[in-house]
Amino acid sequence: MQEKSKATLKKIFSQLPQVDKLLQHSEMLELSRQYPRELIVDQIRIQLDKIRTQISQAGEEQLSTDALNHDQVVKQICREIESALRPKVRRVINATGIVLHTGLGRAPLSRQAQQALIEVSEGFSSVEIELDSGKRGDRHKLVEDLLIKLTGAEAAAVVNNNAAATLLTLNTMAFEKGAIVSRGELVTIGGSYRIPDVMKKSGARMIEVGTTNQTGLWEYEEAITDATGLLLKVHTSNYKIIGFVAEASLEDLVALGRKHNVPVMHDLGSGMLFDLSRFGLPKEPVVSESIRIGADVVTFSGDKLLGGPQAGIIVGKKKYIDQIKKNQLARALRCGKLTFAALEATLRLFLDKEKLFGHHPVLKFMLRDEAELHRQAIDLQSKLSSIIGDRGEVAFEKGLSEVGGGSLATESLPTWLVLFMLSQCTPEGLARKLRLSEPPIVARILNNKIAFDMRTIREDEVDFIIHAVSKIANEGCST
């Protein structure tokens, strides 16, 4: 850089507001009521540095006067501070219609689970003490009886998530042994859960049999040797192979396992505690069916259709569950008290099927009445349209929502969408502004329009959407 422009830069920088001055600004004073002064001073320095870099990179001729307008600078710094200091784990409005959205924290919890979380987090809790004897307890026991009752299994254990449940089960039952699995079931879930990789990490040797679309029972049988640890069946949660297809049923695998004295593990992914098809929903495998058929160990997630906190549930024969609990890895994969509190409350809901549907948010979202969704879409459309007037367009139409989260992924549910666009925004720009609203709103883009899927929008969230849209319509999408 030339001497002259260095001198110019210095002069420009000297016109930027001082840290002390900024701290006195009324908007900063407002912020300092919410956040510690030290954090604010740090942020002011960071933001001033950013502005200096912007100025030096901009070149004199394109320097905008905004950079030196103190009010503008304060505004920008306040905005940046607010977004930097705001909590990162926040409630968002899910307008995607995807009920089990992994990016949005999967299952929303029931009131009962929320209450349990408050109770155990306020003080101390009985997570690992037997209240009767006063002795050190086993945390799996907190929910084991409930799981036994609800699945018909002999025993149960709970770990961090279903990935942990499969890792731990494979490590316990097939370490340095063969785990036989069909090539049609080598699933990838959400990019980071890949059966071959989980098997490798568990220390089991993956023995693939069959082809992508056809695997016969005889192929498992041919692969069985003295070094076989288990037969693995994986529910293909997020894809379907159709056409010329054959697979060995769980019944057949269980019979084969018994014949050769090899245990059978069933990774159900989501799993459900009863048959959803009785209620007009697509069928998802039922845990108690796998147990009844004779699977030795069944694994499933706590936060998919079960509707609880993130957890991996392992149910099955006591002999194996005992080994699983004793495995050193179990300690590394264990859940905390918050998980157990929310899981116990969620499982309890299933004891009373009559009340379940009124309390279980995942089921409630999945079973929402189409006519009601239609009515809400009309209502939102008319409110948005009166706000944005001729600055954009709003319409409603019939659509489909996914269940998501690796559950019923090939199925969709009929829904109603409100589609809208602002003429001054791109669809991506508008989606971004919605995500940056307070609270953040996450929506899909469909045919170059924002789609609000009414399925996952609660009645009390509609006003936030209206407020956010009206703010964006006034401010535009450029910032």
Ligand X SMILES: *Cc1c(COP(=O)(O)O)cnc(C)c1O
The residues near 38 (Cβ < 8 Å, ≥ 6 apart) are none
**Residue whose pair of structure tokens reads 């080994």 in the numeric block:** 323
CB of 193 to ligand X, least distance (A): 5
Q: Where are the alpha helices (DSSP H) in 333-451?
A: 337-349, 353-359, 361-366, 370-388, 427-435
Instruction: Return the number of the residue (162 or 401) whose C-beta is nearest ligand X.
Output: 162
CB 394 within 8 A of CB 381: yes
Q: Which of residues 141-180 bind ligand X (CB under 6 A)?
A: 161-163
Here the tokens at position 404 are 């998501």
Q: Which of residues 444-473 bind ligand X (CB under 6 A)?
A: none
Stretch that binds ligand X, among 38-46, 139-147, 230-238, 439-447 (CB under 6 A): 230-238
CA–CA distance, 361 with 393 (Å, rounded to integer): 32
CB 307 within 8 A of CB 109: yes
**β-pair type (193-194, 188-189):** antiparallel
CB 193 within 8 A of CB 234: no
Instruction: Return the number of the residue (47 or 208) whose C-beta is nearest ligand X.
Output: 208
The SS3 of residue 221 is: helix
Give me the torsion for CA of 413, 418, 419, 422, rounded to 10°.
-150
Stretch that binds ligand X, among 234-242, 256-264, 276-284, 313-321 (CB under 6 A): 234-242
Residue of 177, 235, 449, 455 that binds ligand X (CB under 6 A): 235
CB 285 within 8 A of CB 271: yes
Task: Give me the half-sphere count of Cα atoms (radius 13 Å) on the Cβ side of residue 105.
Answer: 11
CB of 89 to ligand X, least distance (A): 18
CB of 321 to ligand X, least distance (A): 18
The residues near 411 (Cβ < 8 Å, ≥ 6 apart) are 282, 403
Q: Which of residues 88-117 bind ligand X (CB under 6 A)?
A: none
Instruction: Return the number of the residue (347 or 450) whose C-beta is nearest ligand X.
Output: 347
Q: Number of residues in contact with ligand X, rule: CB under 6 A? A: 15
Q: Which of residues 260-319 bind ligand X (CB under 6 A)?
A: 267, 269-270, 301, 312
Instruction: Return the number of the residue (35 or 193) whose C-beta is nearest ligand X.
Output: 193
Cross-strand pairs, 446: 449
Residue of 237, 288, 339, 456 that binds ligand X (CB under 6 A): 237
Q: Which of residues 364-393 bind ligand X (CB under 6 A)?
A: none
CB of 312 to ligand X, least distance (A): 6
CB of 287 to ligand X, least distance (A): 13
CA–CA distance, 286 with 278 (Å, rounded to integer): 12
337 binds ligand X (CB under 6 A): no
**Residue whose pair of structure tokens reads 């009010």 in the numeric block:** 71
Residue of 250, 406, 427, 469 that binds ligand X (CB under 6 A): 406
Stretch that binds ligand X, among 20-28, 79-87, 108-116, 229-237 (CB under 6 A): 229-237
Residue of 116, 155, 156, 234 that binds ligand X (CB under 6 A): 234
Which positions lie near ligand X, rule CB under 6 A?
Answer: 161-163, 187, 189, 193, 234-235, 237, 267, 269-270, 301, 312, 406
